[in-house]
Amino acid sequence: MNLSTKKWLFTKISSAILIPFMIWFLLKFVSLFDSDYQTLIDLVTVKSFKLVFTGFILTAFLFYTLTISEIFEDYINDQKIKNVANKVVFTFAIIILIFTLIILHTL
């Protein structure tokens, strides 16, 4: 299996997994986005929230970095620029993801 096929497969699997996560997150977020600090802290410190949210952002970052990589593939001709753009997006996504997960699980 070549790299492009693997990318396509991961995009499809992550998109299928992301759909129920997105619905769950939207319902939670709409119900709580304007809540006060203590209400939010009470919610995000619940273990089940931490687990599902971790699954949500892991899948979301995987799906969106692959989606953006696909856009680079379609619109950037220069291989070097494409590689740099991909590395920047992947590195940025990994840093934000790790930092968010550390904060979430230490709240």
Partner 1 sequence: MNKLFSKNPLTPHLQIYKWQISSLLSITNRIVGVINFIIIILICFWLISLRFEENNYFLIFNLMNSVVGKFLIIFLCWAFSFQILNEIRHLAWDLGYGYDTKIAKITGILVFAGSFILAILIYLVGNNLVN
- Residue 85 as a binder of partner 1 (CB under 8 A): the answer is no
Residues in 56-75 that interact with partner 1 by CB under 8 A? 57, 60-61, 64-65, 67-68, 71, 74-75
- Residue 2 as a binder of partner 1 (CB under 8 A): the answer is no
- The least CB distance from residue 76 to partner 1, in Å, is 8
Alpha-carbon distance of 79 to 82, in angstroms, equals: 5
Considering only residues 7, 10, 22, 86, which one is a binding residue for partner 1 as defined by CB under 8 A?
A: 22
Quick one: angle between helices 47-75 and 79-106, nearest 10? 170
Q: Which residues neighbour 70 within 8 Å (Cβ) at sequence distance 6 or greater?
A: 7, 11
